[in-house]
Each structure stands twice: as structure tokens, then as C-alpha cells.
Amino acid sequence: MDVIVIGAGIIGAAVARELTRSGIAVTVIERGAAASATSASGEGNVLVSDKEPGPELVLAQYSARLWPQVARELADELGGTIPADGLGGGHRAGSGAAFPSIEFDRKGGLVVATTDAGIEPLRDFAATQVAAGVDARPVTLDEARELEPDLTPSATAAVYYPEDAQVQPVIATEALLASARRSGASVLEGTEVTGGLRGADGRLSGVRTTAGDLHADAVVTAAGPWSAELTARLGAPVPVQPRRGVVLVTSRMRPRIFHKVYDADYVDAVGSGDAALQTSSVIESTAAGTVLIGSSRQRIGFDDRLRVAVLREIAAKAANVFPFLADTPAMRCYGGFRPFVPDHLPLIGADPRLPGLWHATGHEGAGIGLSVATAALLRDLMTGTEPAIDALPFSPARPSLAEHLQEVM
Amino acid sequence: MREILIIGAGPAGLAAARAARARGASVTLLDAADDVGGQYWRHLPASLSAGREDLLHHGWATFTALRSDLDDDPGCRIVRGAQVWAIERGETTGRPDAARPDAARPDAGNRDTGRPDAEPAEHDDRGGHVVHALAGPVDGTDRERITLTPDALVLATGAHDRTLPFPGWDLPGVFTPGAAQALAKGERVTVGERVAVAGAGPFLLPVAASLVQTGTTVVGVFEASRARTLAAGWLSRPWRLARAGKKGAELAGYAAGQLRHRIPYRTGTAVIRAHGTDAVTAVTVAKLDRDWRPIPGTERRIPVDAVCAGHGFTPRLELAVAAGCVLTGDSFVAVDDAQRTSEPGVYAAGEITGIGGVELAMAEGSIAGHHAAGGDTGTSPVRAARVARGVHRDIARRIEAAHGIRPGWSSWLDDDTVICRCEEVRHGPLRDTAAATASTSLRSLKLSTRAGLGICQGRMCGRTVDALLRQHAPHAHRNDNATFDHRPLAFPLRLAELADHPKDNDRKESA
Amino acid sequence: MTVPPFPVPPSQDPIRPDPGTSIRISVDETEYPGRAGQTIAGVMLAAGLLSWRYSSGSGAPRGAFCGIGVCFDCLATVNGQRDVRTCQRRAVDGDVVVTQHDPLPRPPRAPAPESAAESASEPAHRSAPEPPHPSGPDSPLREGGSGA
Ligand SMILES: Cc1cc2nc3c(=O)[nH]c(=O)nc-3n(C[C@H](O)[C@H](O)[C@H](O)COP(=O)(O)OP(=O)(O)OC[C@H]3O[C@@H](n4cnc5c(N)ncnc54)[C@H](O)[C@@H]3O)c2cc1C
Ligand SMILES: Cc1cc2nc3c(=O)[nH]c(=O)nc-3n(C[C@H](O)[C@H](O)[C@H](O)COP(=O)(O)OP(=O)(O)OC[C@H]3O[C@@H](n4cnc5c(N)ncnc54)[C@H](O)[C@@H]3O)c2cc1C
Ligand code: FES
């Protein structure tokens, strides 16, 4: 079987790797460069803590199981090491083409409420997660401070999630793609898909690109927030919209934040589809000693202009969770566009309207974390294997999406 | 009245302020330093004045007159110690095609036509940019917040030294020439007793002169370009530049000083290594071939206690990039004949549009200030400035031809030479990661190597990393448009200063 | 004997400097004299200090490099505020300067025992001290592990 994967973000890279490893001939087509769009514009949280019981949580738990294994396989295969000095990507100098580490770190997460009104909802949410198999541990404030000594004195409740992890998303994307290449995938960068090719039976039989036509048995869209535009070109548009997010980066400091720490409104912001600006704190330190402070959510199309008001809000909330951050310099901000789907679930599976077209897109703010499970699921669906989790909730044919899907053009 | 905001009070910004005032505009001039003057007229602070400070400067009288004219002028507000940390683009910006069909493009056809003499109404080319600055002690806290929405913006943020890495360049005692000069002119501190001045470009000479004036022994000025390249670039030896007007005379002055103080000037020679453990104690200099590759067998070790190394300049582009200005192929701000950038209402002058020295910066500043204030092309003061700009752009081209960086320099690197100082990314790992990821994206390469991600935000290493990656990556071709010049926060600021809590030190104004 | 860098002796300086106002600042609890208007880096350099920071990776000494506020090599903590560019900040009488060294955090804990063994064989990092691990061995949070 020949498959074309459109998009070389983390989703396209993970999908290409899984398909190639199961014997499929894969060509990845990327209009820009690999690992340079959304997957290079966010953070690398691999979370279960922010997900309410339901299909996305199941997918996240599946990913949480796969990541350690994938991280190990990539290190074995590409020669990446666990960073010796955390810098320069953990190289052995002069050792030739050693891959940097993907910095997978299951450091655990701590969700903190800072108001009295926030205590109940946080506890209740955790209880429902425990019922769904999440390791969520309500902790006392003393225990929370043992985990995070610099936590705000105004914390009112906290829940510890040992399963939360992080990866370095760009290196992870490059590593997944390099692994796919080694197994035989080819990657065409600087090549844009401009339209679809149809067989006599109406099936999608390939794509038109800026470098000519390419034929395949199946086409997978993994074009992140541009998936609506891309699928419109292919004749079967899917409702993926951009949702802007901005992150602040501090200067380096001695290690003072040891887990991923969120304020409890984070979960609300994630679950909401509101177009207006929302911010909530996700605070984490990186292997370089900096602290990433995310993030905002705003549906403003592809407008990437700096908005100081957004930064002000992110900064204020972070200083509310860790007061010492008030004195810490922010040295950079960056942002991107999450691929947002109206019913908040990614599209993974065959398009019901156009045979030959498959989707792996719409992961909104969780595509890094969900990438490896998405790829495994799609691989099973495409090869006719029983998937490890129920794939129906992610099907592009699901009822909650029907009102948003137009007829094939 | 038209409100003009000028960022940067070096020669270009000062000239722009004068010209905009001459056209009757109201001017606000911001500079991060605590006095005006920029790199060229960097001087002692008021509390350290000296009877004969003029001895340290060229054109000191011009400067002090300009400064006091502007200081005394009620239509010109100078805000010292004001760090601009962000520029937001307004609703009318960011769509260069729709907004400004005549916008500057690197090689826009006839640059001389400028705009029609009858200038359109005032607000016509307002870009709606919002400029955010903090005034107060450098890197302080609780500084005064200044938010400005001018009718036109003149960017004159200058340049800083570019130093090519060499083994040992991260040792204490290795400085940029700009540092040595700033310390000599602004502090009366000398960086060492025996100093090697190395790199490329005519501005090494004034730096050597400043050092000599602080009582230092300059063991040599080591110019990487070979005599033949220099001659081809300058069409004459640098000390004969008297023909090229005042600039040449100034450089000739340095040559005379050099002879007087017996500073050896060596061409085709570079400092290729600094020795020492906790501080530099010696350098190795070597002869270079025409591509700046060291010639084996020519190495010589010279004991020194300081090194000043600079191989040209890097324009400070972050604010121009933030404002949305298009850059030229060689990474300067693209401007048209009126010093207009591609962004409506944004003008640029001085070193950010090309490295050409103080006269060029002032000529461009005058033109930019004049047009930003609504002036037209034919007016006589700009006519003179345009002539000066022509002459000195020619010098800028000569500087590049004579002293431009040649690719062979990278052969003096070791695998463990630090390339990115902040993140200590070394040459070997940088090369290996580029090879391992086979990436064609600068964004990805930055994030996988960490080069340029530290607190200087790639100011020191950006150009170097870019060049090395192109040399080493399997694909010199890039499929992304990332640069090192994109710094949405132009300078770090504390979260408390950023945070949105009510403060009395918020000053919002319309100028 | 003067150790470079050093101030130009005012009596020999052709520009005839005014004496100015004396100030004192402390750097890591040692007092240094200066004159009002000097930068903090200027005071330190004039006192013969060439470096006042250690780099985060290799622990190499760093001081001033660019002198004009763009390299961030000269950072120090001033009056409790970290990351101040000392080449730009004017010294004020009584300023308390503390040198700043921000070692990198330890590399992430390995995802699984096999690679943990691998990472243990990496050379120990020269300058990074043990990060305090907040949950001690008998913490209730510890059992079940946080992935280590
Ligand atoms: C601020 C922010 C923070 C985030 N934090 C997290 C987090 O902590 N954890 C997490 O899991 N997720 C996070 N995310 C979300 C995550 O980044 C995304 O879900 C994920 O990167 C999506 O990956 P992708 O491969 O679908 O898209 P992308 O990485 O955008 O890749 C799509 C690719 O398709 C290419 N393409 C598009 N159209 C075409 C065409 N016509 N032809 C050829 N190629 C085309 C694009 O050039 C692009 O390279 C965050 C996102 C943001 C913005
Ligand atoms: C070491 C050295 C030696 C030189 N010697 C000579 C010489 O001998 N002869 C000669 O002709 N030229 C010399 N030059 C070049 C000289 O610097 C320029 O010709 C001239 O100063 C350029 O003027 P400018 O106005 O473009 O920039 P600058 O003089 O650099 O002024 C830019 C100003 O912008 C300010 N600024 C930048 N960013 C911000 C911000 N975000 N917020 C607020 N303010 C900001 C800076 O503080 C600075 O004051 C030398 C340069 C250096 C570095
Ligand atoms: S010496 Fe470079 S910022 Fe101070």
C-alpha cells in the first residue's frame, strides 16, 4: 500500500513512522519545513490531568502508555542520549550524527486552586478522573508545598497527577520523522498540496502538488490548523479552525519549579470553545533552566500580531501561582494556532464522504501528547487491525460533527 | 500637529529629531541609554564630567550643540533611559499589499521619484503602531510604563559589534571593540595593559586609538582582510581615504595616531585563539588566505591581557521586525528614497539600514525625520542630506567589499569552541545535530540545538549560527522563513512589570 | 602593581576629569569604591574584577563582553533583582551586588530502567548541584513513583 501523509508536524511525523513500520510505503508532503509550524509553537505537555473522563482522556491515557516506549525506541534507534548537560541537545561531542534527546520526562503535574470557590470543583473533577483510571491524588497544602516549595501561600487545594509528562516537541517531531525516514518513508519539504486527484470510481487517488502530481492508495491529512483549507482543496472540507495561543519564556534560573503546575481554571479554558481571550496558567521548567508560562486561548483567525494585553494577563496569572515569578524576567514570547474542532475531539479515521481520504488532525491544544496514540490508532484502522481503544468517538463520521461537514465538492 | 516618535538617539535619531522639528512636527525621542549620543558619541555621564572630554570624540561640538538645541526645544521631548520592549502592529498594518502598494521593497525600481510633492493629509499613512517602553533604572522594577501611538515612527536603533567565535573567545578579557570603546569613553576604564585589537573593518582603528588614549599598549591591530582585498574594496589604502571627505580625513587621523603611537597594523591576519584558564593571557595570531583560512605555519603567540575582537556589525532589527518592516536580502531594513520602510508610517535610518558610519547615519536620519514630519522631496535641507547619503553609501559599499566576512573563518573553530555563549552550544554538537536531524528549518534547528535561545536571544551568535548551519547542514536551502532577528520582546522585563495590575506609573499618551 | 583592567589614573588623564562623587557598592559582601555615574560593571572592572559570573553549562567564568547591553554576559543580582545588565546599570551608593550562577537543572529522569542505566553512565555534570527533590523518600507522594 502507498500512503501520502500531508503535513510534517508531530502528527504527520508520528503517523508516517507508524505506517512505515507496518510495511506501508509513505510519502510525507510538507509545504514548508518539518517541525516548523504548530508543533514548534507550543509546549510539550503530555497530560492526563486536564482531561475529563471521555474519549479524549482514553486517547491521552493510551498515549501516556506509549510515550515511554516510543522515547526508548527513538533513543535506541537514533543514538540520542539522555542529555549530559541539558544543553546542546545532550551530545557526545564529535560523535557524529547523534540525535539530541527528546527530553521525555514524566515529572508529574500539580493542579492548584487559589480560591475557596475553586476547591470543590477541583476535588470533584479529580474524583471523576480517578473513577476513569487516572492516578489523581488530592494532597494537603503541606504536601503540595513539599512538591513545590515556592507555591503561592494563597493556594486553597491541590491535586497531584504523577502521570503527567513532557517532551521537547520539536526534537520529538524531528526524531519521529527521522525514524520514519530510516524505515523507508520519504519526505518532500517545500512542496504544497494544491488539490486532489480522483480515480474513475471517484476515489481520492492522489494529490496535486507544487512539484507535480502524486498517486497513492490513501491520503492522510495531518495539516494541523490548516486542515480546513487543505481538505477544501481535496474536495471534502473538515471544520478545523485556528485557536491562537501564546507562551512566555523566562530567563534561566536555579531550579525552582519541579512539576507541571496549573491553576485550576486551566481545565475550564481547555474545555471551553469560547472565541474570546482566555488565559490560565500552565507553568513548567525546561531542561535549559527556563520556565515556560502558558497560555492563552483566543479565536482570532490566523492573526499572529503581538498583543501586549494577552501577555499582561498571562504574566499576572503566573505570578499568582508562583509569587517569585513576579521578579523574574520574561525574555521571549511565542505562539501558534491550535487546530480547533467544534466538538473538541480530534479527527482520526476515514472520511465518510470521500473514499481514500483519511484524517489525523484537529488535536487542538494536545496534539503533542496525543500524537503517538493517534498514529497507533490510525495505523490499526488503515491496516484493518483491532485498535487498542475504541476508535468510533474520533471518527470523522461521528454524529457531533455531522452538522459541520459539508457534502463532498 | 503631527506627532513623531523616534527610537534611538544616536547620530541617526538625533538628526531625525532635528529635521522633524524643522518641519514643525512634535517630536518624542526615546533612548535606552541615560543620555543621547548613541555608540558614536558615547560619553561620560553628567556626574563624571571632564574639562577636555572633546579630546575623546570626533564632532563633539556638533553633538553638544545638537543635544542642547533639542533639549531646549519645547517641541522635542527627550526621554532618556527608556527601553522600548515591544511594538504592536495596529489594525491597518500587517497587510503590506493592501495597505501600501508603493511600499519599500529591497530593489524597488526608481528610488529617486519618492512621493508626489503634495503630501497627502496627515493621517493618511499612519500605521497604528503602539510602542511600549519602560523608563527607569536598567533592568529595574517598577519602572514607568510609557505607551505611545505616534503618527509616524522613526527607527534608529543602530548596530552592535559582530564577533566571530574563535577558541577562547569566551574567556574573560576578551571584549568586543565596542565594549573597549564604551568603557574608555564612558567610564575611563581600560580593558588591559597589553591589548590585541582584531577582526575586520575601519572602526577597529578608532577603537585602538581610544585604547591608546587610556594608556594601553596596543600590541597590534589585526585586520583579517588581506591588503589586496582591502585595496580592491577601498580602491586605495584606508589611510589614503582623505579623498572621500571628512570620513576619510577622520580615518587618516587615526592612521597618523597609529604611527605616532606605533601601533602595528597587520592585514591578512587574525587572532585565531585566545589562551588562558580564568582570563586571557595570550593570543595566537595567524596569517590568513584570501578566504580568511589560517595559513599553517604562520601562527605566532603573543602575550596579552585583553583582546578586542569584532568582525563588523549586526543591525539591531528587533523593533523593525516587530513593526512589520520588510528586510533586505542581506538583513538590513529595506527603505525607499525617503527612508520609508514597507510599513505605513514607519521610517528607518542609520546602521539598521546599512553599516556606513556616522555621516551616513546622520544623512539618513535627516531625510527620515523630514519625511516622517510630512516634508517633501524637493526641500533644500534634504537635498544636501541626499547628496551626503549618496557619498557615504558608497563608503558603506567599500567597507563591505574590503572587510566583509569570508567563509574560511570557520576553519579556525575547534569542535568544542563555544558558538552560542548563552547556551554554551559548541561547534561540534551544533554541526552534528544539524546533520542528524537533516532539518531544512532554522526554527527547528534553533530548538533542537538551543543555539540562540538564551537570554541575549541570538544577538551574539545568530548570524554565526545561521552561517555555520548553512555550511554544515546537508541542505543549505531553507524551507522556513525563521530568522534570529525576531524578538517579540525586544528586551527582558520582569513579570511584575508586564503583569496587568493597576499601577500609578502608567503613562498613556498620544505622542 | 595594577591588574588590568584598571581605571585611567585621573591625574594622568588628558581629558582632565572632575573628581566626581565617591560611592561604595558591595559585591558578594566585599566593598568596592566607585564614582557616581559609573556603571556597576565599570566599578567592578576598575577594581580589577574581570569576571563575576559562571556559565550555566560548563561553569566557565564570565564578565563583560559587549559593554553595550546586548550580550547579557555581565548579569548579576542587584539589590535582590536578578539578571541586571551591570554594564548598563549605573551604580548607586550602597548597591548590593550578588554574583549570579544559575546551574542547569539535572537532566530529566529516564523514562524506563534500561535508559536510566544508560543515563547513569553519562559523565556527571561539573557544575550542576543536586536539585532539591522536594518529595523525600518517606513522602506519601513518593510511592507509586513519579515516573522515575
Ligand atoms: C501555544 C500552544 C501551546 C500548546 N501546548 C501544547 C502542549 O503543551 N501539549 C500538547 O500536546 N499540545 C500543545 N499544543 C498543541 C499542539 O502544538 C498541536 O496540537 C500540534 O502541534 C498539532 O500538530 P500537527 O502536526 O497537527 O500540526 P502542525 O505542526 O501545524 O503541522 C501541520 C503541517 O502541515 C503543513 N501543511 C498545511 N497545509 C499544507 C498543504 N496544503 N500542503 C503541504 N503541507 C501543508 C504545515 O506547513 C505544517 O507543517 C499547543 C499549541 C499552542 C499553539
Ligand atoms: C566600536 C565602534 C566604533 C565605531 N567607530 C566609528 C568611527 O570611528 N567612525 C564612525 O563613523 N562610526 C563608527 N562607528 C559606527 C557608529 O556606531 C555609527 O556610525 C553610528 O553610531 C550609527 O548611528 P546610529 O544612530 O545608526 O546608531 P547608534 O549610534 O548605535 O544609536 C542607536 C541608539 O538606539 C538605542 N536603542 C536601540 N534599541 C533600543 C530600544 N529597544 N529602546 C530604546 N533605545 C534603543 C541605543 O541605545 C542607541 O543609543 C563605531 C561603532 C562601534 C560599535
Ligand atoms: S557586557 Fe554585554 S550586556 Fe553587559
Measured between alpha carbons, how far is A310 from B86 in angstroms, rounded to an integer? 13
Q: Do C51 and B172 touch (CB under 8 A)?
A: yes
- State residue A86's pLDDT score: 31
Structural domain for B117, as ranges: 3-160+314-400
The question of ipTM being above 0.95 is answered as no
Measured between alpha carbons, how far is B403 from B199 in angstroms, rounded to an integer? 9
- State residue C26's pLDDT score: 98
Residues B319 and B209 grouped into a single domain: no
- State residue B20's pLDDT score: 97
Confirm whether B444 is domain-assigned: yes
CA A2: distance to chain centroid?
Answer: 26
pLDDT in tens, A232-271: 999 999 999 999 999 999 999 999 999 999 998 766 666 6
pLDDT in tens, B224-237: 999 888 877 776 54
C-alpha cell at B269: 591576519
Q: Is C84 in the pocket of ligand 3 (CB under 6 A)?
A: no
Measured between alpha carbons, how far is A248 from A314 in angstroms, rounded to an integer? 8
Spans of all domains in chain C: 17-99
- State residue B249's pLDDT score: 53
Q: Of the ranges A266-270, B78-82, B437-441, C9-13, which is most confident?
A: B78-82
Specify the ligand 1 atom closest to the Cα of A369: 11
Give A164's pLDDT tier (boundaries 50, 70, 90): very high
Measured between alpha carbons, how far is C55 from C62 in angstroms, rounded to an integer? 7
Comparing alpha-carbon positions, the chain C residue that sits nearest to A253 is C102
Q: Is A222 in the pocket of ligand 1 (CB under 6 A)?
A: yes
Work out the percent of chain B whose per-residue pLDDT is above 70.
84
Residues B169 and B292 grouped into a single domain: yes
pLDDT in tens, B398-427: 889 999 999 999 999 999 999 999 999 999
Residues B428 and B459 grouped into a single domain: yes
- Long-range residue pairs from C129-134, CB within 8 A, at least 24 positions apart, any chain: C129/C103, C130/C106, C131/A255, C131/A258, C131/C105, C131/C106, C132/A149, C132/A255, C133/A258, C134/A146, C134/A147, C134/A148, C134/A149, C134/A258
Cβ atoms < 10 Å from Cβ of B401: 15
Spans of all domains in chain A: 2-65+170-239+343-404, 109-162+242-340
**pLDDT tops 50 at residue B335:** yes
Confirm whether B458 is domain-assigned: yes
pLDDT in tens, A322-356: 999 999 999 999 999 999 999 999 999 999 999 99
Q: What angle do CA A148, C85, B64 make, to 5 degrees?
A: 155
**Chain A, chain B: beta-carbon pairs less than 8 Å apart:** 181
- State residue B479's pLDDT score: 86
Confirm whether B373 is domain-assigned: yes
Give A409's pLDDT tier (boundaries 50, 70, 90): low
Residue A17 zone, left/alpha/beta (φ > 0; ψ -120 to 50; rest): alpha
Residues B7 and B140 grouped into a single domain: yes
- Write phi, then psi, for B136 (nearest 5 degrees): 150, -170
Confirm whether B133 is domain-assigned: yes
Give A94's pLDDT tier (boundaries 50, 70, 90): very low
- State residue B255's pLDDT score: 52
Any chain C CB within 8 A of the CB of B179?
yes
Residues B330 and B233 grouped into a single domain: no
Residues B187 and B298 grouped into a single domain: yes
Give B106's pLDDT tier (boundaries 50, 70, 90): very low
Does the bond joining C5 to the residue before it have cis omega, within 30 degrees of 0?
yes
C-alpha cell at A158: 491541590
Q: Which of B288, B311, B334 is the last residue of a domain?
A: B311
Residues B155 and B167 grouped into a single domain: no
Least Cα separation, residue B84 to chain C (angstroms): 13
Q: Do A329 and B499 touch (CB under 8 A)?
A: no
Burial class (CB in 10 A: 0-12, 13-18, 19+), B143: buried
Residues B383 and B438 grouped into a single domain: no
- State residue B17's pLDDT score: 98
Confirm whether B496 is domain-assigned: no
Residues B116 and B23 grouped into a single domain: yes
- State residue B227's pLDDT score: 86
Confirm whether B485 is domain-assigned: no
| CATH dotted code for A109-162+242-340 | 3.30.9.10
Q: Which residues of B409-418 are buried (b: 16+ CB within 10 A; e: fewer)?
A: bbebbbeebb
Q: Is A361 in the pocket of ligand 1 (CB under 6 A)?
A: yes
What average pLDDT score do residues A204-229 get?
98
- State residue A52's pLDDT score: 92
Residues B15 and B154 grouped into a single domain: yes
Any chain A CB within 8 A of the CB of C59?
no
Higher local confidence (pLDDT), B167 or A300: B167
Rounded distance from Cα A339 to ligand 1 centre (Å)? 7
Q: Is A285 helix (H, G, I), strand (E, B) or coil?
A: strand
pLDDT in tens, B39-77: 989 888 888 888 888 888 888 899 999 999 999 999 999
Q: Within a 13 Å sphere around the CA of A104, how many CA atoms are in the beta-carbon half?
A: 31
Residues B197 and B241 grouped into a single domain: yes
- State residue B282's pLDDT score: 98
Higher local confidence (pLDDT), A370 or B263: A370
Q: Is A375 in the pocket of ligand 1 (CB under 6 A)?
A: no
pLDDT in tens, B472-506: 766 667 888 888 999 999 999 999 999 965 444 45
Give A272's pLDDT tier (boundaries 50, 70, 90): low
Task: List Cα–Cα distances, B373 to B111, B370, C53, in angstroms.
Answer: 20, 5, 46
CATH number of the domain at B378, please. 3.50.50.60
Give A136's pLDDT tier (boundaries 50, 70, 90): very high
- State residue C148's pLDDT score: 26
- State residue A93's pLDDT score: 35
- Chains linked to B by 3 or more Cβ pairs within 8 Å: A, C
pLDDT in tens, B186-234: 888 999 999 999 999 988 988 998 898 888 999 999 999 998 888 777 7
Task: List Cα–Cα distances, B127 to A303, B26, B342, in angstroms.
Answer: 17, 17, 11
Q: What angle do CA A135, A139, A143 make, to 5 degrees?
A: 125
- State residue A365's pLDDT score: 95
Confirm whether B490 is domain-assigned: no
Listing DSSP states for A246-264 in one string gives: EEEEEPP-SS---SEEEET
Rounded distance from Cα B431 to ligand 3 centre (Å)? 27
> Which residue ranges of chain C lie beneath pLDDT 70?
1-4, 107-148
Place of cell 514607519: B346
Residues B169 and B156 grouped into a single domain: no
State the alpha helices, DSSP H only, in A111-184. Answer: 119-131, 141-147, 169-182
Average pLDDT value over all residues in chain B = 86
- State residue C110's pLDDT score: 42
How many folded domains does chain B comprise?
A: 3
CATH topology of domain A2-65+170-239+343-404: FAD/NAD(P)-binding domain (3.50.50)
Q: What pTM value is reported for the model?
A: 0.90
Cβ atoms < 10 Å from Cβ of B65: 11
Q: Which CATH class is domain C17-99?
A: alpha beta
Please choose, from the candidates B38, B130, B432, the residue with its C-alpha nearest in 3D space to the C-alpha of residue A89. Answer: B432
Specify the ligand 2 atom closest to the Cα of B352: 26
pLDDT in tens, B349-360: 999 999 999 999
Termini Cα distance of chain C: 56
Higher local confidence (pLDDT), A201 or C118: A201
**pLDDT tops 70 at residue A299:** yes
